[in-house]
């Protein structure tokens, strides 16, 4: 994988309004309403991914040193499978759904029509540059929309391949890519869209939401947070350590669902740490840095941010701590945190660092997790006691949750994915993606003729006898 992929040029700012006007004209031509046209675009997207599979792997290697295995499992093949399933189900998704109603409304055979919204904007983040742009796009296409895609400029090579796939394979009058940094995105956000799907951090999420509000545009905000792992006295701690290690290894922790910190009972602490260390050695038998399976931090800014967290923590480093600036390499670093105000517990880490605290009582663990963040994107619970798992689920909130594993509720392309509160709003994927980019239009087809006699009760003058008929 030695080929170097050049970043795409920034889109000229003055072209942005014209591009959106072109897409809107296409939408208004009703071309995108045809289910056949949507299927054709989905098939083309599949071929775009298929034909460019080597470039997808090469781009993710260049941007993040992601192994081909990880690249295809979470971006390339993942998306192709999602498209295959959508193509199989789209005829059902688009069906007009009859609604059960009261007697008067029933006469009008009420239905819900699944209608496209119009022209939508999809802004992606750098960590899964294909999945986070083309994943929402899949739902937008299935629902019959036109779309503008703004990939993250941080994963530059991936940006180039996303651009190539969209411009070379999809209908250019219905889909466009805008590349660039803040000026381009700001110009984009000044335009009117019918929905915006933004994936990234909460600070920019607020900028996107404020810009959208000016046009009354609804948003899907896919944000992050500090995801807790609650390990109880009833946990299989070896299993927990192994599965936490896997969750943390993915993309070197640059995952919105990454297990951010752990809460461990004192009786399990030593076993948890020793099993994590042993698992890590088993994952990378020839050394972590030497392994082609372990990614790197995306850029110097993020490398220095994470390195600084390791260097300034008041906690005790139990595992790892090694960094290498020349490669933007950071090893798995597990830190026993004693001070709740440690920076490691204050912001999303988005890297391979994992603080933990020792707490014995389940209620104390719940209270601690809720204090750190009461609406993380993910919550992980390790216990062999189902009642205990339900007890914790019933006293916490999070975008999604997995019991006895990490990442898994977010791994399937069939399950809805989204946050709550600080971790975002709205969800998508599969039918949930189709619904997220559809308008559910309640439609009644009222009967005429003799039915007018039944409706007579609604017309003035409002005699008491007419009210009695309702
Ligand atoms: P990023 O730096 O790639 O930025 C995300 C997008 O925001 C990019 O397209 C970028 O161009 C745009 N952007 C940046 N500044 C902007 C501005 N001032 N105005 C308008 N747009 C702007 O990625 P990031 O934000 O660092 O991503 C990491 C965050 O994303 C983490 O918090 C992570 O948890 C979250 N995330 C969430 C999900 C999810 O599905 N919930 C998935 C991946 C990442």
The pLDDT value recorded for residue 107 is 84
Q: What is the mean pLDDT of residues 379-407?
A: 98
Tell me, in angstroms, the distance from the centre of ligand 1 to residue 164's CA.
21
Alpha helix positions (H), 29-130: 35-51, 53-64, 68-71, 77-93, 103-106
Alpha helix positions (H), 373-425: 386-393
Which residue minimizes the CA distance to atom 20 of ligand 1? Answer: 185
- Give the residue carrying structure tokens 């003055």: 14
Give the ipTM: 0.97
Which residue minimizes the CA distance to atom 1 of ligand 1? Answer: 125
Instruction: Considering only the C-alpha atoms of the chain, give the largest distance between any 2 of them, rounded to a whole number of Å.
Output: 88
> Which of 41-45, 233-237, 440-444, 455-459 has the lowest average pLDDT?
455-459
* pLDDT tens sequence across 338-387: 998 999 999 899 999 999 999 999 999 999 999 999 999 999 999 999 99
Tell me, in angstroms, the distance from the centre of ligand 1 to residue 430's CA.
22
Number of the ligand 1 atom closest to the C-alpha atom of 224:
34
| Ligand 1, CB within 6 Å, residue ranges | 123-127, 132, 150, 152-154, 182, 185-186, 199-201, 204, 207, 222-224, 256, 348, 350, 377, 419, 424
Catalytic residue among 70, 245, 256, 348: 256
* pLDDT tens sequence across 11-35: 999 999 999 999 999 999 999 999 9
Which residue minimizes the CA distance to atom 40 of ligand 1? Answer: 222
50: burial class by Cβ within 10 Å (0-12, 13-18, 19+)? Answer: middle
Say whether pLDDT at 3 is over 90: no
Say whether pLDDT at 206 is over 70: yes
Gyration radius of the chain over CA positions:
25
Q: pTM here?
A: 0.96
> Which of 102-111, 255-264, 439-448 has the lowest average pLDDT?
102-111
Number of the ligand 1 atom closest to the C-alpha atom of 348:
32
Confidence of residue 2 (pLDDT cuts 50, 70, 90): low
Q: What mean pLDDT, rounded, does the chain reach?
A: 96
Q: Known catalytic residue: 197? A: no
């Amino acid at each position: 994988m030695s080929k170097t992929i050049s970043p795409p040029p920034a889109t000229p700012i003055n072209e942005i309004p014209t591009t959106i006007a072109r897409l809107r004209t296409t939408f208004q031509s009703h071309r995108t309403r045809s289910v056949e046209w949507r299927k054709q675009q989905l098939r083309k997207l599949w071929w775009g991914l298929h034909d460019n599979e080597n470039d997808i792997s090469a781009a993710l290697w260049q941007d993040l040193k992601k192994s081909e295995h990880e690249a295809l499992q979470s971006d390339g093949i993942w998306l192709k499978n999602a498209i295959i399933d959508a193509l199989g189900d789209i005829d059902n998704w688009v069906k007009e759904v009859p609604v059960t109603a009261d007697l008067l409304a029933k006469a009008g055979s009420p239905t819900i029509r699944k209608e496209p919204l119009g022209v939508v904007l999809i802004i992606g983040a750098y960590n899964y540059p294909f999945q986070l742009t083309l994943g929402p796009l899949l739902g937008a296409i299935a629902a019959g929309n036109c779309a503008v895609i703004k990939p993250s400029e941080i994963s530059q090579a991936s940006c180039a391949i996303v651009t190539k796939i969209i411009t070379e394979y999809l209908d250019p009058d219905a889909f466009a890519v805008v590349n660039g940094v803040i000026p381009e995105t700001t110009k984009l956000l000044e335009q009117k869209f019918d929905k915006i799907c933004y994936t990234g951090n909460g600070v920019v999420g607020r900028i996107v939401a404020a810009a959208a509000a000016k046009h009354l545009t609804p948003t899907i905000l896919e944000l992050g947070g500090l995801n807790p792992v609650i390990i109880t006295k009833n946990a299989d701690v070896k299993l927990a350590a192994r599965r936490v290690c896997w969750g943390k290894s993915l993309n070197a922790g640059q995952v919105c669902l990454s297990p951010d910190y752990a809460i461990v009972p004192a009786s399990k602490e030593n076993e948890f740490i020793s099993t994590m260390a042993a698992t890590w050695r088993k994952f990378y038998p020839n050394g972590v840095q030497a392994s082609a399976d372990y990614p790197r931090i995306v850029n110097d800014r993020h490398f220095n941010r994470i390195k600084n967290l390791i260097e300034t923590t008041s906690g005790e480093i139990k595992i790892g701590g090694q960094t290498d600036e020349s490669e933007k390499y950071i090893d798995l670093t597990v830190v026993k945190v004693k001070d709740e105000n440690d920076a490691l517990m204050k912001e999303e880490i988005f890297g391979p660092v994992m603080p933990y605290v020792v707490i014995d009582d389940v209620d104390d663990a719940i209270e601690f997790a809720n204090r750190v963040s009461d609406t993380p994107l993910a919550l992980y619970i390790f216990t062999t006691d189902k009642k205990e798992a339900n007890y914790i689920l019933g006293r916490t909130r999070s975008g999604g949750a997995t019991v006895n594993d990490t990442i898994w509720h977010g791994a399937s392309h069939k399950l809805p994915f989204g946050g709550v509160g600080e971790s975002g709003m709205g969800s998508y994927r599969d039918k949930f993606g189709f619904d997220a980019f559809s308008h559910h239009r309640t439609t009644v087809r009222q009967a005429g003729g003799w039915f007018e006699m039944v409706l007579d009760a609604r017309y003035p003058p409002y005699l008491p006898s007419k009210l009695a008929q309702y």
